[in-house]
């Protein structure tokens, strides 16, 4: 798959998408003698959206536990999660006998998935207001704050953020 500006895919599944693209293009060339970009992108879009939904749910299911441990998954765990989240799908390219029109059928094997139940502890109005007034301090943002105003308070804030990041288990 060419890395053109009109299509960007998630890096975590780019190899999988390249495989699907090669298969689809090969099929289209053998059946109709040309490539149909709209159908190709439709299929890739179905794959990406289904995967993204599955991956988000899987990530959400481990997020609470990992945030309490102050750790992030190892890369091999992420790859395993990616493989488990890749959709079980099939596509059928159908064309009329006279070749006047064609269609793509999408089949998705839904596995028995339990609904993720998360209890939000911030249901009352005071908690919601407190959340709205919170600030997010990423390491990049803190570095910019310290560069623009290197006072003791900002330097202490940077040390706190650095200490937290060092506690993360990569």
pLDDT, one tens digit per residue, over 49-98 is 888 888 898 888 888 777 777 777 888 888 898 888 888 888 777 776 76
Q: Which of 1-10, 28-37, 114-123 has the highest mean pLDDT?
A: 28-37
Whether residue 3 is predicted with pLDDT greater than 80 in this model: the reply is no
Burial annotation 33-43 (CB, 10 A radius, 16+ → b, else e) = eeeeeebbeeb
pTM greater than 0.95 (yes/no): no
pLDDT tens digits for 9-33? 678 888 888 888 888 888 878 877 7
pLDDT > 70: percent of the chain: 82
Give me 20's structure tokens: 């699907």
């Amino acid at each position: 798959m060419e890395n053109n500006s009109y299509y960007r895919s998630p890096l975590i599944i780019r190899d999988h998408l390249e495989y699907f693209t090669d298969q689809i293009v090969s099929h289209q060339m053998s059946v109709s003698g040309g490539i149909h970009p709209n159908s190709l992108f439709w299929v890739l879009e179905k794959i990406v959206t289904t995967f993204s939904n599955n991956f988000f749910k899987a990530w959400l299911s481990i997020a609470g536990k990992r945030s309490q441990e102050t750790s992030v998954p190892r890369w091999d765990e992420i790859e395993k999660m990616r493989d488990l989240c890749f959709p079980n799908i099939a596509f059928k390219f159908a064309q009329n006998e006279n070749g006047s029109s064609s269609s793509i059928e999408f089949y998705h094997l839904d596995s028995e998935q339990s609904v993720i139940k998360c209890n939000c502890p911030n249901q009352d109005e005071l908690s919601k207001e407190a959340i709205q007034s919170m600030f997010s301090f990423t390491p990049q943002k803190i570095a910019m704050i310290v560069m623009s105003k290197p006072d003791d308070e900002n330097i202490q804030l940077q040390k706190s953020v650095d200490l937290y990041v060092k506690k993360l288990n990569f």
